[in-house]
Amino acid sequence: MSIHWEALAAVALVSLVVGVLVVVLVSLALVGLSAREPAPACEPADETPVISRGGSGLSRAAGTLVAAVCLSGAAATVLYGLYLLIS
């Protein structure tokens, strides 16, 4: 029995890159969706310090577009991987 180390290394590298890519795309989609969250209406009445979120700087429409593109890319990557496994 012989092991093709080059092929094993290629499969390991591609799976690592694709795994990181899917995680990054989903996290960018969450950042895009966070642009849709409204800002707090007012400051607290007492002297409690509040850590405000800096925001992503995206408008609601741009955040939705970024989320849709990133989730579509992640879904296409996963579906292509399933296609390669099934065929």
What tens digit of pLDDT does each residue of 13-57 get?
Answer: 999 999 999 999 999 999 999 887 776 666 666 666 655 555 557
pLDDT at residue number 59: 84
List the structure tokens of 5: 């180390």
pLDDT at residue number 36: 79
Query: Domain spans of the chain?
Result: 19-36+58-87
Considering the entire predicted model, what is its pTM? Answer: 0.74
Burial 50-81 (b: 16+ CB within 10 A, else e): eeeeeeeebeeeebeebbeebbebbeeeeeee
Instruction: Determine the 3-state secondary structure of 54 from DSSP.
Output: coil
